[in-house]
Amino acid sequence: MREQTCWLPRHPKSPRNARQELRSFLLAHPSAELLLPTGELLLSELVTNAVTHARAPRGRLIFVRLQLLPHGTLRIEVHDADSEKPAPHPASLTSESGRGLFLVRELASEWGCCPRRGGIGKFIWCHVSASPRGGRRVSAVRAGISGIMLPTVFPSLDHALPVLWDQVRRRPVRAAHRDFIRLCIGPGGGDGVAECLSRSGRWSVTLYIGDMTDWTAHPITITTHSP
């Protein structure tokens, strides 16, 4: 079992540094292309939560452990010095906060929260699998947003949609257009995309960023993927 660990400060740059650690850890791994998109998103969200919400004394660091388990499953652990477990509450990907555990529940094959052994605080762990979880939309897809997100292979459409929507929700998009995109790829969406992929192997919609007088077009494209 491979393992890599690091300590991070409670700093806004720590999520980015954690993602770099994960990319280094998965470098040359045969399933890196499938593990990395979901792994980066979940690791970033968990570290962001530890930076933003953990009630810990000044100077306490965040500990990250990355492991490759049998059958190629990626295990992520994020430790902080706050012993209070996060309280799950209804959240959606349109929220500016509270998305971390929502994404973990949606994308991880397993997850949990445990007290740290021999010390104060807790850690949240999750498993990311290169194989689909057995949902309705299990075929591998390649998805990207022109000018924003390079085409990336995901083990299933259900893995791809939250990552795409997470990119959209960060952008300055008019409310009506955002609502339309949300119906396509946001929480609870995707049925129309799945149907289109089953018929033609390709689905696309254009994301318009900006206002009525100053905007740029960024096609969102999803295609079926055969290794």
DSSP 136: S
Residue 64 maps to a domain: yes
Domain span holding position 165: 141-224
Alpha-carbon span 134 to 211, nearest angstrom: 40
Residue where a domain stops, chosen among 93, 128, 163:
128
Specify whether 8 is located in the same domain as 114.
Answer: yes
Residue 169 maps to a domain: yes
* Alpha-carbon distances, residue 101 vs 66, 105, 195 (angstroms): 18, 6, 29
Q: What is the CA radius of gyration of the chain?
A: 18
Mean pLDDT of the chain: 86
Under the banding of pLDDT at 50, 70 and 90, the label for residue 93 is very low
- The closest of 144, 164, 128 to 225, measured between CA atoms, is 144
The verdict on pTM exceeding 0.75 is no
DSSP 70: G
Residue 62 maps to a domain: yes
Rounded-to-10 torsion of CA 88, 86, 126, 187: 30
Half-sphere CA count of 177, side-chain side, radius 13 A = 17
More confident residue, 102 or 84: 84
Asked if 142 and 227 touch (Cβ cutoff 8 Å), the reply is: no
Residue 87 maps to a domain: yes
Residue where a domain stops, chosen among 128, 156, 183:
128
- The closest of 207, 190, 198, 83 to 149, measured between CA atoms, is 207
Residue 66, pLDDT above cutoff 90? yes
Q: What are phi and psi of 134, to 5 degrees?
A: 95, 20
The residue type found at 187 is: P
* Neighbour count for residue 145 (Cβ, 10 Å): 20
Range 134-144 average pLDDT: 72
Tens-place pLDDT, residues 20-39: 999 999 998 888 888 888 89
Specify whether 24 is located in the same domain as 118.
Answer: yes
Identify the weakest region by mean pLDDT among 18-27, 50-59, 85-94. Answer: 85-94
Specify whether 149 is located in the same domain as 176.
Answer: yes
Under the banding of pLDDT at 50, 70 and 90, the label for residue 101 is confident
Residue 133 maps to a domain: no
Asked if 57 and 119 touch (Cβ cutoff 8 Å), the reply is: no
* Alpha-carbon distances, residue 186 vs 100, 149, 189 (angstroms): 16, 17, 5
Specify whether 82 is located in the same domain as 183.
Answer: no
- The closest of 94, 73, 58, 83 to 173, measured between CA atoms, is 94
- Check residue 5 and give its pLDDT: 97
Tell me the residue ranges of DSSP E strands in 74-201.
Answer: 74-80, 110-115, 122-128, 141-145, 149-154
Q: Give the domain CATH number at 52.
A: 3.30.565.10
Tokens 């390709």 belong to: 202
Residue 4, SS3? strand
